[in-house]
Amino acid sequence: MSSKIKTLKQITNKLYYQNNLDSKELLYLLNNINTEIKQDIIEKSNKTKINIYGNKIFMRGLIEFTNYCKKSCEYCGIRAQNKNIDRYRLSLDQILSCCEEGNKLGFKTFVLQGGEDSYYTDDKIVEIIQTIKKNYSDSAITLSIGEKSYDSYKNFFDAGADRYLLRHETASKELYDKFHKNSSFESRIKCLWNLKKIGFQVGAGFMIGLPGQSNEDLVKDVMFIKELQPHMVGIGPFIPHKDTSLRNNNSGTIDKTIIMLAIIRLFLPKVLLPATTALGSIDPLGREKGLQAGANVVMPNLSPTVVRDKYALYDGKICTGDEAAKCRTCIEDKINKAGFTIDMSRGDHISWKGR
């Protein structure tokens, strides 16, 4: 065995047994990873997940309720500057219909996601949360509606929202500034700490393969996650959108995304880790591969089919024409084929003690 492989094995063993590495070790691992070590990490990650959550995969129903957004994230197809898309907003009744359909299909978590849309004032969001909670008191609500003030987040939490997803996107300030001309890296990070302080189950996360992203940048992502200790981590490949300045760049790769999923599982063994739609969009077996590398959540779409293709964050997004019921059975089949079973409970983080 070469000394490089020996060192790599020592590093992956340390990661498996101690759930920790320092920046130098992690960078060495990322710079020198090969097929054998990749397989080793994937197996260790899957084993870690099974030790904690068994072979169950949690299901969440995703409702993309607005594609209006005031922000200009360079990579995103629904950024404010894109004049080529049909904008839509769902009414409270339409959102409730999605929940009703989701409830019939067995979902016990509704993820409300959208652009940063000022039409939905805090009062409107609170009304949406309270109405869903009144009708489906045994279900969890996850919000993913971007950066808000501490007080707004607190209002949403007090109204009954349980979880909040806010990817930090990249923990490299230089890279963040490159893709977010009018936003502040520090504010985004501050939002995540505020969400934790308020008591949400918090999801951070990052994209893989952003143009110019290096292994050093990915090390920063992992070190930030290690410090924040979020309950969830959303990791997906960057995929270009034709109406953005990044249209000619390559997508993040399945390999790198899988490796980063496995590494995050090993750093945070109890984390809730989705196999994302973006992963399924770059590879027909992407989500299955993600589940086998440590992911334990999937989020099929509950949005009305008439608006599905309008929530186009990137080109080639899957499931844009499929009914909620079709995605529900399709994903169950994929989960089973990957060797797991579905879990339709709320699927809180295993250390969650409730409100």
User: Which of 331, 338, 340, 347 is close enough to bind ligand FES by CB under 6 A?
Assistant: 331
| CA distance linking residue 189 with residue 47, whole number of Å | 31
Q: Which is nearer to ligand FES, 205 or 300 (CB)?
A: 300
| Backbone φ, ψ for residue 59 (5° rounding) | -110, 135
Q: Are the beta carbons of 60 and 109 closer than 8 angstroms? A: yes
Q: Which helix (H) or strand (E) holds 124?
A: helix 122-135
List the strands of the sheet with 163-165, edge to edge. Answer: 61-66, 109-114, 140-144, 163-165, 201-208, 232-237
Counting contacts by CB under 6 A, is residue 62 touching ligand FES?
A: no
Counting contacts by CB under 6 A, is residue 205 touching ligand SF4?
A: no
Residue 144 annotated in ligand binding: yes
Residue type, 180: H
Between the two ends of the chain, the Cα-to-Cα distance in Å is 51
Which entry of ligand FES, ligand SAM, ligand SF4, none binds 260, CB below 5 to 8 A by partner kind?
none
Q: Which is nearer to ligand SF4, 68 or 150 (CB)?
A: 68
| Count of residues interacting with ligand SF4 (CB under 6 A) | 9
Query: What's the distance, CA 291 to chain centroid?
Result: 13
Q: Which is nearer to ligand SF4, 44 or 79 (CB)?
A: 79
Q: Which is nearer to ligand FES, 42 or 331 (CB)?
A: 331
Least distance (Å) between residue 82 CB and ligand SF4: 9
Which entry of ligand SAM, ligand SF4, ligand FES, none binds 300, CB below 5 to 8 A by partner kind?
ligand FES
List all residues 6 or more positions away from 225 whose beta carbon is below 8 Å from its beta carbon. 204, 233, 264, 267, 268
Counting contacts by CB under 6 A, is residue 76 touching ligand SF4?
A: yes
Q: Are the beta carbons of 254 and 283 closer than 8 angstroms? A: yes
User: Which of 95, 159, 204, 327 is close enough to bind ligand FES by CB under 6 A?
Assistant: 327
List all residues 6 or more positions away from 26 whose beta carbon is below 8 Å from its beta carbon. 219, 222, 223, 263
User: Which of 44, 49, 79, 168 is close enough to bind ligand SF4 by CB under 6 A?
Assistant: 79
Counting contacts by CB under 6 A, is residue 116 touching ligand SF4?
A: yes
| CA distance linking residue 239 with residue 226, whole number of Å | 26
Counting contacts by CB under 6 A, is residue 326 touching ligand FES?
A: yes
Is residue 89 exposed (0-12), middle (13-18) or buried (19+ Cβ within 10 Å)?
middle
Which entry of ligand SF4, ligand SAM, ligand FES, none binds 79, CB below 5 to 8 A by partner kind?
ligand SF4
| CA distance linking residue 277 with residue 297, whole number of Å | 11
What's the full length of the chain, in residues? 355
Counting contacts by CB under 6 A, is residue 69 touching ligand SF4?
A: yes
User: Which of 96, 330, 342, 344 is close enough to bind ligand FES by CB under 6 A?
Assistant: 330
Q: Which is nearer to ligand SF4, 115 or 300 (CB)?
A: 115
Q: Which is nearer to ligand SAM, 11 or 207 (CB)?
A: 207
Binding residues: 69, 73, 76, 144, 169, 188
Where do contacts with ligand SAM occur on this chain (CB under 6 A)? 75-76, 113, 115-116, 144, 146, 166-167, 169, 207, 236, 238-239, 241, 278, 313-314
Binding residues for S-adenosyl-L-methionine: 188
